[in-house]
Structure 1
Amino acid sequence: MATERFTLDPGTRALLRDLGISLARVLRRAHLPAGVFAHGPVTMTAEEYYRFWAALDDEAADPDLAVRIGRALSVEVFNPPIFAALCSADLRTAAERIAAFKPLIGPVGLDVTAGRAGLTIAVHWPDGPPPPPLLTGAELAFWAALARIGTRHEVHPTRVTMRRPPRPTPATSAYFGTPISEGAADTVTFSTEDAARPFLTEDEALWTFFAPELRRRLSELEASATTTDRVRAALHELLPAGRSSINAVAAQLLTSPRTLQRQLRTEGTSYQAVLGDTREKLARRYLADRSLPTSQVAYLLAYDDTNSFYRAFRRWTGTTPEAARTGQQLTSA
Structure 2
Amino acid sequence: MAGERFDLEPSITALLRDVGIPTARLLRRAGLPADLFVRRPVELSVPEYYRFWDALDAEGQAADSDRDLAVTIGNAISVELFSPPIFAALCSPDLSTAARRLAAYKPLIGPVKLDIATAEDVTITYHWPTGLTPPALLGTTELVFWVALARIATREHVRPARVTMPSPPANRMPLENYLGRRVRKGAGYSVVFTAADAARPFLTQNDQMWRVFAPDLRRRLADLQASATVAERVRAALVETLPAGDPSITAVTNQLGTTARTLQRQLSQEGTSFQAVLAGTRENLARHYLAGGNLRTSEIAFLLGYNDTNSFYRAFKTWTGATPEAIRATARAAPVTVATRSLV
Does the 8 A contact of 1:162 with 1:187 survive in 2? Answer: yes
2:112 to 108, 112, 132: 108
Give 2:87's aligned residue.
83
TM score, norm. by length of structure 1: 0.66
CA distance in 1: counterparts of 2:70 and 2:186, whole angstroms: 18
Cα deviations by residue, 1:66-96 (Å, 9 ceiling, x for unpaired): 0110110111224101101111100000000
Question: Does 2:180 align with 1:174?
Answer: no
Q: CA deviation at 1:50?
A: 0.9
CA distance in 2: counterparts of 1:182 and 1:112, whole angstroms: 20
Does the 8 A contact of 1:13 with 1:23 survive in 2? Answer: yes
Q: Helix, strand or coil: the match of 1:77?
A: coil
- The amino acid across from 1:108 in the alignment is V
1:98 to 97, 102, 112: 102
Give 1:19's aligned residue.
19
Q: Helix, strand or coil: the match of 2:118?
A: strand
Does the 8 A contact of 2:92 with 2:206 survive in 1? Answer: yes
Does the 8 A contact of 2:4 with 2:228 survive in 1? Answer: no
CA distance in 2: counterparts of 1:99 and 1:174, whole angstroms: 27
Q: CA deviation at 1:122?
A: 0.6
Cα deviations by residue, 1:227-258 (Å, 9 ceiling, x for unpaired): 9x9xxxxxxxxxxxxxxxxxxxxxxxxxxxxx
Q: CA deviation at 1:165?
A: 2.0
Give 1:287's aligned residue.
none
Question: Does 2:212 align with 1:219?
Answer: no
- The amino acid across from 2:87 in the alignment is F
CA distance in 1: counterparts of 2:10 and 2:260, whole angstroms: 36
Give 1:8's aligned residue.
8
Does the 8 A contact of 1:168 with 1:180 survive in 2? Answer: no
Give 1:120's aligned residue.
123
Question: Does 2:48 align with 1:48?
Answer: yes
- The amino acid across from 1:101 in the alignment is Y
CA distance in 1: counterparts of 2:179 and 2:49, whole angstroms: 25
Cα deviations by residue, 1:175-220 (Å, 9 ceiling, x for unpaired): 1111221112210011111000000011111111111111111111
Q: Helix, strand or coil: the match of 1:188?
A: strand
Structure 1: 5+ residue stretches without partners: 230-262, 269-333
CA distance in 1: counterparts of 2:228 and 2:126, whole angstroms: 20
CA distance in 2: counterparts of 1:193 and 1:123, whole angstroms: 22
Question: Does 2:159 align with 1:145?
Answer: no
Range with greater deviation from structure 2 (45-54 or 163-172): 163-172
Give 1:192's aligned residue.
195
CA distance in 1: counterparts of 2:229 and 2:115, whole angstroms: 20
Give 1:298's aligned residue.
none
Give 1:66's aligned residue.
70
TM score, norm. by length of structure 2: 0.64
Does the 8 A contact of 1:158 with 1:177 survive in 2? Answer: no
Q: Helix, strand or coil: the match of 1:160?
A: strand
Q: CA deviation at 1:39?
A: 2.2
C-alpha distance 111-226 of structure 1, shift in aligned 2 (>3 A): farther
Q: Helix, strand or coil: the match of 1:44?
A: strand
Relative contact order, higher structure (CA 8 A, sep 6+): 2
- The amino acid across from 1:74 in the alignment is S
- The amino acid across from 2:72 in the alignment is R
Structure 2: 5+ residue stretches without partners: 234-255, 262-344
Q: CA deviation at 1:267?
A: 7.5
C-alpha distance 267-218 of structure 1, shift in aligned 2 (>3 A): farther
2:160 to 149, 157, 162: 157
1:207 to 201, 207, 210: 210
Give 1:274's aligned residue.
none
Q: CA deviation at 1:18?
A: 0.5
CA distance in 2: counterparts of 1:267 and 1:196, whole angstroms: 49
Give 1:39's aligned residue.
39
Q: Helix, strand or coil: the match of 2:139?
A: helix
Range with greater deviation from structure 2 (160-169 or 172-181): 160-169
CA distance in 2: counterparts of 1:99 and 1:267, whole angstroms: 33
Give 1:281's aligned residue.
none
- The amino acid across from 1:18 in the alignment is D
Q: Helix, strand or coil: the match of 2:159?
A: coil
Give 1:57's aligned residue.
57
- The amino acid across from 2:7 in the alignment is T
* Mapping for residues 253-332 of structure 1, pairs under 5 Å: 264-266=257-259
C-alpha distance 267-89 of structure 1, shift in aligned 2 (>3 A): farther
Identity of aligned residues (%): 56
Q: CA deviation at 1:65?
A: 0.4
State the number of aligned residues. 234
Cα deviations by residue, 1:246-279 (Å, 9 ceiling, x for unpaired): xxxxxxxxxxxxxxxxx834489xxxxxxxxxxx
CA distance in 1: counterparts of 2:260 and 2:11, whole angstroms: 38
